[in-house]
Structures are given as structure tokens and as C-alpha cells.
């Protein structure tokens, strides 16, 4: 029995994976509520450690809250620039300041992806690796990202914020933790390559540098 998919169906899956991009430029067009639900259902299909399903999503519909979130991101962006200036170079800091690192005010929808509270009760698969809860939420976010790309909707993952301050703003209880500000929306066009590559900030490394056999090998010795 072959439980695989047809050739052209497989091609689409690989294409969506390759053509998914982290987007920061959006059109103001809103996303239909049924489509947003469909995307969130795709996120909810994600695997999770011990079937813990630790993801919680907060949809931000209040424009004042959206502005307050943007202000928090901007504050952290300035602190990040300062840290780059201290630990790297001032030229690198100036380059960072020229990058667009979020589209919070421009996108159609803002979702906050949050780790649930009371995670300590879940031991299956987390006794030695408690961070598997974060890995599970990341799987849900990736599902959302890919489903959105297939629908022609861009998504940007913003992690430039102080989780304690954001938790306070959104009444997130102790023990729960916001891990991503997700900007979703229609776009003019998807970047052909990661925007950080297009802007000359970073270079992508090939798979061959990440792949080892039997034992750890330093990249330089490969």
C-alpha cells in the first residue's frame, strides 16, 4: 500500500516550504474570519510533547493594544541596537537600524502565541527537556506559517519584546509566557529570499554544513 501523495501534490508541499518567508511588509487588506479560523486550525493540528497542546493564541483586535504592542517592540528594537553596538560594532548597529524587523501596525491580524500556564504538570517527554513545550508551540507556529503561505498570506514572527511587559499588558497569568508576536496579512509579493539575505545582513549556510555522521564534527574540519 502506498500512503503517499500524488506527484503534483507533493511538489506543492515542497514549494510551500521553500517559498515560505518571514514577512515584514503588508497590505492593509483584512483577513476573512473563516480563513483566520482555518489557519488557526492548521496550527492546532501540530504535534506536541505528550499531546500537551501548550499553545494559546491571543487575537489582538483592539487598535490601542496593537499600538501598545508596537511601542514595546520598538523599545526592544532600540535596546537590541544598543547591544549590537556594544557587542559587535557601531557600523553593524547602524545596519540593524536600517532593517525593517516587524509589521505590527501594517498587517491585517496580530496574534500573540503564548505558552500555557501549569506546564510543570506535564512530565511525559519533558523530564530532562522541559523546553519541549516551547518546541511544541513552535511546531504550531510553523503550521500556521505554512498554511498562511499556501493561502497567499504572509506571516512575520516577531520576538523583539520583553515577555514580562507583554504578559502584563495582556493579563497573561503567572506561569504562562508570550513567545511570539505573529503578524499576518496579504502582501504585495513574497521576498524571493530571506529578507535578511536580500538586505545583506546575513548569509544562509548550506545543509551540508549542518549534517554530520555518527559523531559531532566541527564545520571547519568537514
Query: What are the CA-CA distances from residue 35 to residues 30, 85, 89, 143 (Å)?
Result: 11, 42, 44, 14
- Choice from 160, 163, 170, 199 touching ligand FMN (CB under 6 A): 160
Beta bridge partners of 177: 115
Query: What are the CA-CA distances from residue 194 to residues 60, 62, 156, 161, 215 (Å)?
Result: 26, 30, 11, 21, 31
Give dist(CA 201, CA 222) in Å, integer: 26
Among 18-26, 125-133, 147-155, 206-214, which window interacts with ligand FMN (CB under 6 A)?
18-26
159 near ligand FMN (CB under 6 A): yes
Q: Which residues contact 35 (CB under 8 A, 6 or more apart)?
A: 151, 153
89 near ligand FMN (CB under 6 A): no
Binding-residue pattern over the window 161 to 200 for ligand FMN, x denoting contact by CB under 6 A: ---------------------------------x-x----
- Choice from 40, 111, 132, 158 touching ligand FMN (CB under 6 A): 158
For 113-129, b where at least 16 C-beta lie within 10 A, e where not — what string? bbbbeebeebeebbeee
In angstroms, give the least distance from the CB of 195 to ligand FMN.
6
User: Contacts with ligand FMN in 128-157 (CB under 6 A)?
Assistant: 157
Nearer to ligand FMN, 26 or 157 (CB): 157
Nearer to ligand FMN, 7 or 154 (CB): 154
Q: Which residues contact 175 (CB under 8 A, 6 or more apart)?
A: 117, 118, 119
- Choice from 101, 113, 132, 153 touching ligand FMN (CB under 6 A): 101
- Are 16 and 149 spatial neighbours (Cβ–Cβ below 8 Å)? yes
Give dist(CA 103, CA 19) in Å, integer: 19
In angstroms, give the least distance from the CB of 24 to ligand FMN.
6
Nearer to ligand FMN, 87 or 216 (CB): 87
Query: Which residues of the shown chain bind ligand FMN in the complex (CB under 6 A)?
Result: 21-22, 24, 101-102, 157-160, 194, 196
Amino acid at each position: 500500500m502506498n500512503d503517499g501523495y500524488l506527484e503534483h501534490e507533493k511538489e506543492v508541499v515542497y514549494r510551500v516550504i521553500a517559498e515560505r518567508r518571514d514577512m515584514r511588509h503588508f497590505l492593509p487588506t483584512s483577513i476573512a474570519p473563516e480563513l483566520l479560523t482555518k489557519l488557526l486550525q492548521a496550527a492546532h493540528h501540530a504535534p506536541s510533547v505528550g499531546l500537551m497542546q501548550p499553545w494559546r493564541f491571543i487575537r489582538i483586535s483592539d487598535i490601542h493594544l496593537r499600538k501598545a504592542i508596537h511601542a514595546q517592540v520598538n523599545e526592544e528594537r532600540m535596546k537590541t541596537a544598543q547591544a549590537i553596538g556594544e557587542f559587535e560594532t557601531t557600523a553593524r548597529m547602524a545596519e540593524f537600524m536600517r532593517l525593517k524587523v516587524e509589521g505590527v501596525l501594517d498587517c491585517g491580524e496580530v496574534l500573540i502565541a503564548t505558552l500555557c500556564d501549569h506546564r510543570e504538570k506535564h512530565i511525559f517527554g519533558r523530564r530532562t527537556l522541559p523546553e519541549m513545550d516551547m518546541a511544541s508551540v513552535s511546531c504550531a507556529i510553523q503550521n500556521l506559517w505554512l498554511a498562511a503561505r499556501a493561502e497567499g498570506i504572509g506571516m512575520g514572527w516577531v520576538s523583539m519584546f520583553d515577555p514580562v511587559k507583554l504578559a502584563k499588558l495582556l493579563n497573561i497569568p503567572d506561569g504562562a509566557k508570550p513567545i511570539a508576536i505573529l503578524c499576518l496579512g496579504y502582501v504585495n509579493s513574497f521576498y524571493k529570499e530571506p529578507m535578511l539575505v536580500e538586505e545583506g545582513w546575513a548569509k544562509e549556510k548550506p545543509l551540508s554544513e549542518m549534517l554530520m555522521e555518527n559523531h559531532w564534527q566541527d564545520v571547519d574540519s568537514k
